[in-house]
Amino acid sequence: MDLGLKNKVAVITGGSVGIGLAVAEGLAAEGANLVLAARGRERVEAEAARIAETYGVAAVGVAADVATAGGTQAVIDAAEARFGGADILINNAGTGSNETIMEAPDEKWQAYFDLHVMAAVRLARGIVPQMKRRGGGVILHNASICAAQPLWYEPIYNVTKSALMMFSKTLANEVVGAGIRVNCVNPGLILTPDWIKTAKQLTADNGGDWEGYLQGVADEHAPIKRFGSPDELAHFFVFLCSDKATYSIGSTYFVDGGMLKTL
């Protein structure tokens, strides 16, 4: 099936590892050119070069902290300078948290709001005009099932991802007239390097069975009884970017192996 993505330009934040990298490869396999953004210069440039060579597309890696205004501007400028703008924006950069509301300082709340919400706001302000000049586009926000079904130990993550989901909906209403489709994806348990790292840390002092720990998490939360792979999630992102999803606007999609407990 031709998804109509050949020669499109996609900007992906958090694009050097995990879900962002899987989405980048999925889009590149369909012929899309890429701007990958991540904080680590060496890794993001290496992954961009590898993808370009593997899939025969153009790809550039941008070292940028999108939690800052300067970082988002660097990404916006890179899309303009290298490709004359972007057709697709994947707001994927983010990370989990671990705190209580009573003990977390203001600075931690602000840092997560900057990363999960303001990065998306700033990138929209810079890239939507590029999309308008190019005749339209697609913006996808990678939020979390925790935006609607919170986990007790990460209240800041829950709140900021919920804010991102609402931002996605309101942005969709604002730009739909310009031919720009905005949607949100709420993944459940996806086996990213962060999950593996955490599991190894938590089991280091009691046998090191990190795989067993992760299986226990899956057994507790997901009716499918396993984690999803980044590639499985990436397939859904690629579809939403394609011209086969042109009536999908302003929605939030749960890709969670049945984890969501409500309608």
The β-bridge partners of 244 are: none
CB-based contacts of 197, cutoff 8 Å, min separation 6: none
User: Scanning the structure block, which residue is given the tokens 């590898």?
Assistant: 50
Give the sign of the dihedral formed by CA 184, CA 50, CA 65, CA 158. Answer: positive
Cα–Cα dist 93/70, whole Å: 15
- The residue with tokens 């919400």 is 117
Q: Which two tokens stand for residue 33?
A: 């050119």
Catalytic sites, residue numbers = 157
Query: SS3 of 92, please?
Result: coil
How many other C-beta atoms can be found within 10 angstroms of the C-beta atom of residue 45? 18
